[in-house]
Amino acid sequence: MIRIRTVSKTKFISILFLIIAAFFLVFSNALLLTNKLNFYINRQLIVKEIHSSSFLEEDFLKLHINRVLPIMAVVCGTETDDMERNREMRLFTEVIMGFDIKKPSSILSSQILAMKKHEPEIIAAIGTVDESHFLYGQENEYIGDIPYEETDESSDDNTGFPIQEEGTEKPEDTIEEQERNIVKEDYDNIGGIYIKNETNYNVDIEKLLKEEVKIDLSGEGPHVLVVHTHTSEAYTPTKENNYTPSDPDRTENPRYNIVRVGEEIVKYLKEKGISVIHDKTIHDYPSYNGSYQQSLKTIQKHLNQNPSIKIVLDIHRDGLTLEDGTKLRVTSEIESKKVAQVMLVVGTDQGGLKHPNWKENLKFALKIQAKFQELYPGLARPILLSPGRYNQHATTGSLIIEVGGNGNALEEAIASSKYIAYTIAEVIEDLKR
């Protein structure tokens, strides 16, 4: 007799359920692992594309972001000027709507919850995008610099740089001279010292001016390093300093770009007995993007070689162009001479990059600004306090100094150099006492 073992219906269902559960468990884990692998690979590709800058087209991104979030078009456009000045409007948007109109990234964070939680990490992860995008002009206009393109113009002076032929006509730039600082009602200020605060941090100028600046200038060796992150920044060509730009207001020729201004500042610092190193490395050619990463390598190299360096001055020229293309020529009159005005730029950690000691840089900048006001009133524009870091985490005495703008002549920037150097030299001597 053949015995047939039967399986109860309940047991059969239980076994079937376990098999299905096991299948889904294995399948989901495999899928999760695959997704993680794909995410990692895609993340590497995305980061690579960001580094190469071919993935991020500013106009493309702006167009699509503005379509999805129309408020971005308002905040990042010309309409934002009145909104930013209106403190009640800013308070309303921050408390009721959950974002700060002075910080466009907070608008994205308010709409994308995951971004809000991890915003600093996201910004830090793509920190290789050049920090220049945090810089704004005196008139609240965005100052965008144009990347380099190859030039096939020939050189006839054995320097490798093209020069302008005598008598060659150039199209005239529209330039508007500005001989006074534009100071707006919401600028932080005390005693004629103004700060254009582009961050959410509250700044007590009076308190910071009274605090000790933590810069140790004792011992032998060079104390100051002068570099140029945007080495090719140049000025409006003139008869005395005529050159053919490789890009608008740019040239790699150190006789006509910001390096020449740096040479003058260094010369006058040395005249005052300050030990200084001037590094003329080109950091923004052939690629403008990544300039700050390149200059940070230069700064770290010198700090390793010369631990005595405590002050790092990154010398730039500002880009001040109005919507109609008019370039601003910012000038002041010192000792009966037209000179380019100066602006100190101080970075913070608001952009997401680590910079815990940014207030030390600000205290140093305030000392210099106060000395400018004492020695050469009208020479310095308001300090710009920015979300970007600009490599200023390297030392507690790191600053950007913007000498004039693209509407100024090189002669005016060179004329300012002496007064910049003399002012900094006096501050350094005060710190040594």
Q: 341 φ, ψ to 5°?
A: -70, 165
> What is the percent of the chain with per-residue pLDDT over 90, rounded to a whole number?
50
**328 within 8 A of 383, measured Cβ to Cβ:** no
**89 within 8 A of 101, measured Cβ to Cβ:** yes
Spatial distance between the Cα atoms of 265 and 283, rounded to a whole number of angstroms: 19
- Spatial neighbors of 136 by CB under 8 A, at least 6 apart, are 142, 143, 198, 384, 386
Please give the residue that has the higher pLDDT: either 192 or 17: 192
- Per-residue pLDDT tens for 213-243? 999 998 889 999 999 999 999 999 999 999 9
373 pLDDT higher than 70? yes
- Per-residue pLDDT tens for 314-352? 999 999 888 888 899 999 999 999 999 999 999 999 999
The mean predicted confidence, pLDDT, of the chain is 77
The 3-state DSSP class for residue 318 equals strand
198 pLDDT higher than 50? yes
**Terminal-residue alpha carbon distance, the chain:** 113
Largest pairwise CA distance in the chain: 125
**181 within 8 A of 341, measured Cβ to Cβ:** yes
Q: How confident is the model at residue 265 (pLDDT cuts 50, 70, 90)?
A: very high
- Per-residue pLDDT tens for 374-403? 999 999 999 999 999 999 999 999 999 999
Asked whether the bond before 286 is cis by omega within 30 degrees of 0, the reply is: yes
Closest CA to 317 of 417, 196, 234, 227: 234
**78 within 8 A of 323, measured Cβ to Cβ:** yes
Q: Sign of dihedral through CA atoms 55, 57, 62, 67?
A: negative
Please give the residue that has the higher pLDDT: either 280 or 86: 280
Can you name the CATH fold of 175-432?
A: Aminopeptidase (3.40.630)
- Per-residue pLDDT tens for 5-16? 555 667 777 777
In DSSP notation, 249-305 reads TB-S-TTTBHHHHHHHHHHHHHHTT--EEE-----SSS-STTHHHHHHHHHHHHHHH
Q: What does the pLDDT read at residue 112?
A: 63
Spatial distance between the Cα atoms of 86 and 97, rounded to a whole number of angstroms: 16
Please give the residue that has the higher pLDDT: either 326 or 279: 279
Please give the residue that has the higher pLDDT: either 86 or 343: 343
- Per-residue pLDDT tens for 104-162? 666 666 666 555 555 555 544 444 444 554 553 333 333 333 222 333 333 333 333 33
pTM beyond 0.85: no
Please give the residue that has the higher pLDDT: either 83 or 33: 33
Q: What does the pLDDT read at residue 231?
A: 97
Q: Which amino acid is at 45?
A: L
Sequence ranges of the domains in the chain: 58-126, 175-432
Q: Which amino acid is at 96?
A: I
Q: What does the pLDDT read at residue 225?
A: 99
Q: How confident is the model at residue 92 (pLDDT cuts 50, 70, 90)?
A: low
44 pLDDT higher than 80? no
Mean pLDDT of 357-377: 97
Please give the residue that has the higher pLDDT: either 53 or 7: 7
